[in-house]
Chain A
Amino acid sequence: MIPSHFNYHNPTNLAQVFALLSEHAGEAKVLAGGHSLLPMMKFRFAEPTHLVDLADVAVLKGIKVNDSNLLIGAMSSENDLLRFANMEQLCPLLFKATQLIADPQVRNRGTIGGDIAHGDPGNDQPAVMLALNAQFHLESSQGKRIVAADEFFHGTYQTALAADELLTAIEIPLEQANKRFGFRKLKRKTGDFATAACALTLNFNDGQCSDVRIALTNLAPKSFRAYQAEWLLNNHPLNQDTIDAAVELAMRACEPAKDLRGDAQYKTKMAGEMLKRALLDATSSDSQ
């Protein structure tokens, strides 16, 4: 399959990117790793006239750590995250979830920024970002702003990004990265999207949960937090009753689309199961 004709642009700095987006407003798309966009272009689901490749915009790459944050350039590949020194200790949820994204070749090209900005509810990083209370750095020729993951995902392929705006970096508070975590993903095979997945972080002291953040993947038009389940668990002990009640509330929040991976009832049930297992992982005595 061959995409429709387009003009390829290869800018090396953000000013050039913004100039191209403004010159070709409405007809241009930015290309990150290309592992969502290029297949869509081959199927002719997307037919941009101008493709603005971000591969050589150096400022979008690199990972930095300071006292309070992990700052990840949007064009860091999924494998860049896994190869970054101490990522497993720095942000174990991000490390574990990223290991389960696609396959080695795809992780070499696919970027964390593309994963997030594409707005696909089947992608893995959105739920991880929600569970980590990540802050997204957005930039356009008009200036910069920061949008929380909580406010970023609007629907399938719909995000807070304006047409002329780029996701440049992802900021993860170390306070969140250091929390206990759980990540469970049910998939049919390597490389498939999740049938259901759950990413969560929480604090757990004297058997009580607090600061619970639960996010679910591929169970609605967008990745979302199960607020009611969080509310039920916050400042309560974890036992069979509270787990069952949280699972029930999370399942009620799911509205998955039927597809080859299963019908809505099955996927919803699996969402509950992934949440239950992630909760047990996060709170088991030998973990973290």
Chain B
Amino acid sequence: MKSQKVSFTLNGKATEVAVEDRTLLVHALREELNMTGTHIGCDTTHCGVCTVDLDGESVKSCTVLARQAQGKTLTTVEGLAQGKELHAVQAAFMQEHGLQCGFCTTGMLMRAYRFLQENPTPTEEQVRWGLSGNLCRCTGYQNIVKAVMRASENLQAIALTES
């Protein structure tokens, strides 16, 4: 089958990639663009490890066609850190040890990154609700929730110093 060129902004950079019509976004990211931080888990929209940010919304990239990203703005976990400086959400996951095996972590980070923009000062219950589309196979939710609460504090502190 012939390939089609798809262009979008990926982690701030104009990006073009040739894909088949049937190529899923997660495969384009991992296999064509070498962005392997976005994982494939269940492959059926349940587990959330493939979560990326598409035009300001969290989506599961195993259930979006690459061609549907045409002209859109994408952020993957590779786009969070600025140089060697971790994003506040990543720093909070380190501080609270919000990971065990690490497989779900990139999806958790991407969902937390967007969730804290939707709700900058959530309650613990709202965090659990907001991250309910992401599964941790180690069942390490306690520290993940703590990490997101800490990330909320980190981001508030940054906002204060910047204002």
Q: B68 near A4 (CB under 8 angstroms)?
A: no
List 11 additional A-B contacts (Cβ < 8 Å) besides A2-B24, A34-B64, A103-B132.
Answer: A2-B22, A7-B21, A34-B68, A38-B65, A39-B44, A104-B131, A105-B58, A108-B57, A108-B59, A109-B59, A191-B132
Q: Does any Cβ of A come within 8 Å of B20's Cβ? A: yes
Distance to closest chain A CB from B39 (angstroms): 14
A128 contacts B by Cβ under 8 Å: no
B120-138 interface code vs A (CB 8 A; 1 in, 0 out): 0000000000111100000
- Provide the residues of chain B in CB contact with A109, threshold 8 Å: 59-60, 63-64
Q: Looking at the complex, which one of A3, A42, A55 makes contact with B68 (CB distance below 8 Å)?
A: A55
Contact indicator per residue, chain B 53-79, by CB within 8 Å of chain A (1) or not (0): 000011110011101101000000000
Please tell me if A53 contacts chain B, counting CB pairs below 8 Å.
yes
* List of A residues within 8 angstroms of B22 by Cβ: 2-6, 8
In the complex, which residue of chain B has the Cβ closest to the Cβ of A192? B46
- Report the nearest B residue to A4, measured CB to CB: B22
A35 at interface, CB cutoff 8 A:
yes
Interchain CB contact under 8 A, A38 and B63: yes
Residues of B within 8 A of A108 (CB): 57-59
Interface pair A35/B58, CB less than 8 Å apart: no
Q: Name the residue in B1, B4, B27, B65 with the highest tally of chain A Cβ atoms < 10 Å from its Cβ.
A: B65
Query: How extensive is the interface on chain B, given as a class?
Result: 20 to 34
Going nearest first, the 4 A-B pairs with the smallest beta carbon separation are A103-B133, A8-B21, A190-B132, A105-B133
How far apart are A82's CB and chain B's nearest CB, in angstroms? 11
Contact residues in A for B57 (Cβ distance below 8 Å) = 79, 108
Determine if A104 and B67 form an interchain contact, defined as CB atoms under 8 angstroms apart: no
Tell whether A260 is near chain B: CB-to-CB under 8 Å: no
The yes or no answer to A102 lying at the interface (CB within 8 A) is yes
Q: Across the interface, do B115 and A34 meet the contact criterion of CB distance under 8 Å?
A: no
Query: A7 to chain B: which residues have CB within 8 Å?
Result: 21
**Which residues of A in the span 229-271 have a Cβ within 8 Å of any Cβ on B?**
none
* Most B CB within 10 A of own CB, among A38, A39, A55, A105: A105
A219 to B46, CA, bound (A): 23
| Residue contacts A-B, CB under 8 angstroms, 23 given | A2-B22, A5-B1, A8-B65, A8-B67, A34-B63, A34-B68, A35-B45, A35-B63, A38-B24, A39-B63, A55-B68, A79-B57, A103-B48, A103-B132, A104-B130, A104-B132, A104-B133, A105-B60, A108-B58, A109-B60, A190-B133, A191-B46, A191-B132
